Structure 1
Amino acid sequence: MVNDQVAGVATLAHDPQANYQNISDGHWDVTDQPYATIHRLALSSEFRGMHLSNYLMSNLISIGVEQGMQNFRIDTHAMNKRMQGLIKSAGFHYCGMIDKGDEVQERLGYELNL
């Protein structure tokens, strides 16, 4: 929220993601512990340039830690360079390709382990 306006949204899910079982061209580093997944991260263009994406990502990770999570996963499309930059700046590293069912839906999978 910025000045009582919704600036961004995201989902922090704690349930295992079925699509994350099918990873190719790599592997998840931690497979024997629960993880939280960050989905649908979006910010309003009205707040562009305020670096709110970094703030939102940091808060999502902090909330996850408060809820007992130490491992986080996220994915994005190969053409989404801005999201890839945000993901990497938050400390995530590339683990492999996530198969969402067809070639168009393939995503880059990232993981952060604290």
Structure 2
Amino acid sequence: MLLLGDEVVATATLWQEKDVNYQRLQGGRWLYPTKRRPYAIIHRMAVSFQHQGYHLSTALFTHLFETARAKGLTYLRIDTHAKNKKMQAIIARRGFTYRGQLAGDRVAYDLDLDATK
């Protein structure tokens, strides 16, 4: 989470458990199969409406990447709704690659942090 004084201005969850929703990817393939490489998932990313437009997602992603590396996790996955073009653009700018669709009209991406050094 990102704070500005005492106010939460952005938040996300770095999920380290397997997610059954990520097992059925349609129209593509993950960079690494689940059995071959452990991964973390970025969930519930949000920036306060009053603070949008200040590129806080960049700072939040940087923090999430550092946290994942500190935990020994360098393979990340993320998804968003297919209609959320703004989030899709943010995800792509941070280096994630589109991999296919998940149930519930969601689009999925992944990133190998070791490849971004």
TM-score (norm 1): 0.92
Letter in 2 for 1:26: G
- 1:23 is paired with a residue whose SS is coil
Q: Distance in 2 between matches of 1:82 and 1:62?
A: 23
1:39 aligns with 2:49: no
- Structure 1 residue 46, shift from structure 2 partner: 1.3
Whether 2:104 is the aligned partner of 1:73: answer: no
Shift of 1:110: 0.1
How much does 1:3 deviate?
2.0
Matched, 1:112 2:116: no
Q: CA deviation at 1:57?
A: 1.3
- Counterpart amino acid of residue 50 in structure 1: Y
The letter for the 1-side match of 2:55 is H
2:56 equivalent to 1:52: yes
Deviation at 1:4, TM superposition (A): 1.9
Gap regions ≥5 residues in structure 1: 100-104
Taking only aligned residues, the RMSD between alpha carbons, in angstroms, comes to 0.9
| Whole-angstrom CA distance in 1 between matches of 2:70 and 2:39 | 13
Q: Identity percentage over the alignment?
A: 40
4+ residue runs of structure 1 moved beyond 6 angstroms? none
1:29 aligned residue: 31
Cα-to-partner distance string for 1:22-69 (whole Å, 9 max, x where unaligned): 001001011111000000001111112211011101211111111100
- Unaligned segments of structure 2, at least 5 residues: none
Secondary structure class of the residue paired with 2:7: coil
The size of the alignment, in residue pairs, is: 109
**TM-score when normalising by structure 2:** 0.89
